[in-house]
């Protein structure tokens, strides 16, 4: 579904040519008196979205609400934008579906686990950015994953998100028919993130393919779910095939994230730390200190990118 004549980007006509708007592709939206973003507890009639969100240039999304709060606290500190109380209210406080935080041009939103959960959030986020007339928005998913052939703690920046058969595509069912969408991510942004990791010199970062599955246990060839009908050998064979096809890590949201961001013109990246090497095990049984330290790596990397970009634009002086 390419941007067509029916695409609804009227509100962005006022943008100067060099600015890239956030596209919705839905001719029905223009005819609606109001748009209720139900799962955010926000809406065009109840909230002044351009004033609240018009300055957003970076959106960071991740599964866990706690991690997304911690990200905004980290960014506030890093950018010297802390407020007196260092408290950042949850913009979606009226619902428990997602959590959302903002500091300056940085928005942080949780998305829960799995493709359907992140897809609801992205539909409403893309409409929010559209209603707020945002331009030139970069979006990054920060997350955790299982690694293949990598030391735990390694950060993977996704080149392509692939399905359980290692194909770079996302299948979506619309009106009962399967539609296939591309899962390409922004190459330049991935390279920029790799350079950020080199600048930092704190942990190892690689660019590679990410397998996106709809199940954590049987869908990722784990031997420790409630059900398992295959052997350790079957598991290793499957993971080796994945590894040989270029898969560096496995998670549960990247495919629809890549597909929807591409459709909406958002420059997007996926940055996930590997918590374990899946060829060596399935259980997540390191100490919580180790996991906590690993989980900070994507946020440190994306934080560095944002700071560098803001320095270059003159928004922020180091």
Binders of a copy of itself among 34-93, rule CB under 8 A?
A: 34-36, 38, 43, 63-66
Does 296 engage in binding with a copy of itself (CB under 8 A)? Answer: no
Given 91, 126, 185, 268, the residue binding a copy of itself (CB under 8 A): 126
| Nearest to a copy of itself of 16, 174 (CB atom) | 174
Q: Is the Cβ–Cβ distance between 252 and 136 less than 8 Å? A: no
Take residue 2 and report the two structure tokens written for it: 């390419």
| Nearest to a copy of itself of 154, 213 (CB atom) | 213
Does 311 engage in binding with a copy of itself (CB under 8 A)? Answer: no
| Nearest to a copy of itself of 164, 194 (CB atom) | 164
| Nearest to a copy of itself of 183, 205 (CB atom) | 183
CB of 39 to a copy of itself, least distance (A): 8
Given 15, 52, 206, 223, the residue binding a copy of itself (CB under 8 A): 223
CB of 224 to a copy of itself, least distance (A): 7
Q: Is the Cβ–Cβ distance between 142 and 59 less than 8 Å? A: no
Does 123 engage in binding with a copy of itself (CB under 8 A)? Answer: yes
**Secondary structure (3-state) at 64:** coil
Distance separating alpha carbons of residues 105 and 120, to the nearest angstrom: 23
Spatial neighbors of 255 by CB under 8 A, at least 6 apart, are: 115, 161, 162, 163, 169, 170, 183, 212
Given 74, 88, 217, 315, the residue binding a copy of itself (CB under 8 A): 217
Cα distances from 235 to residues 81, 221, 281, in angstroms, run 48, 5, 11
Distance separating alpha carbons of residues 266 and 194, to the nearest angstrom: 19
**Secondary structure (3-state) at 67:** helix
Given 93, 180, 284, 290, the residue binding a copy of itself (CB under 8 A): 284
CB of 276 to a copy of itself, least distance (A): 11
Number of residues that bind a copy of itself (CB under 8 A): 71
Query: What is the per-residue DSSP string for 134-168?
Result: -BS-EEEEEEEEEESSS-TT-EEEEEEEE-TTS-S
- What is the maximum alpha-carbon separation in the chain? 59
Given 20, 133, 172, 279, the residue binding a copy of itself (CB under 8 A): 172
Distance separating alpha carbons of residues 306 and 79, to the nearest angstrom: 9
Given 216, 308, 309, 315, the residue binding a copy of itself (CB under 8 A): 216
Does 24 engage in binding with a copy of itself (CB under 8 A)? Answer: yes
């Amino acid at each position: 579904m390419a941007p067509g004549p029916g695409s609804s980007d009227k509100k962005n006509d006022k943008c100067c040519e060099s600015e890239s708007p956030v596209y919705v592709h839905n001719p029905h939206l223009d005819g609606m008196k109001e748009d209720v973003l139900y799962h955010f507890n926000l809406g065009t009639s109840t909230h002044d979205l351009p004033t609240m969100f018009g300055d957003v240039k970076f959106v960071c999304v991740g599964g866990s609400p706690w991690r997304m709060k911690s990200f905004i606290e980290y960014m506030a500190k890093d950018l010297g934008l802390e407020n007196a109380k260092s408290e950042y209210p949850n913009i979606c406080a009226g619902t428990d579906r997602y959590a959302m935080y903002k500091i300056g041009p940085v928005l942080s939103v949780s998305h829960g686990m799995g493709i359907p959960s992140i897809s609801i959030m992205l539909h409403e986020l893309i409409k929010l950015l559209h209603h707020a007339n945002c331009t030139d928005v970069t979006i990054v998913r920060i997350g955790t994953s299982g690694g293949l052939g990598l030391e735990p703690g390694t950060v993977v920046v996704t080149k392509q998100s692939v399905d359980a058969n290692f194909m770079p595509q996302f299948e979506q069912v619309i009106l009962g028919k399967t539609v296939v969408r591309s899962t390409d991510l922004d190459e330049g942004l991935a390279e920029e993130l790799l350079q950020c990791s080199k600048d930092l010199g704190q942990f190892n970062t690689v660019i590679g393919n990410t397998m996106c599955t709809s199940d954590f246990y049987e869908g990722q060839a784990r031997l420790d779910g409630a059900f398992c009908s295959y052997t350790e050998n079957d598991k290793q064979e499957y993971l080796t095939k994945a590894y040989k096809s270029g898969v560096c890590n496995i998670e549960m949201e990247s495919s629809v994230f890549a597909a929807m961001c591409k459709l909406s013109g958002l420059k997007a990246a996926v940055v996930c730390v590997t918590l374990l090497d899946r060829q060596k095990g399935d259980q997540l049984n390191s100490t919580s200190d180790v996991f906590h330290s690993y989980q900070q790596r994507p946020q440190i990397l994306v934080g560095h990118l944002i700071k560098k970009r803001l320095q270059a634009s003159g928004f922020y002086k180091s």
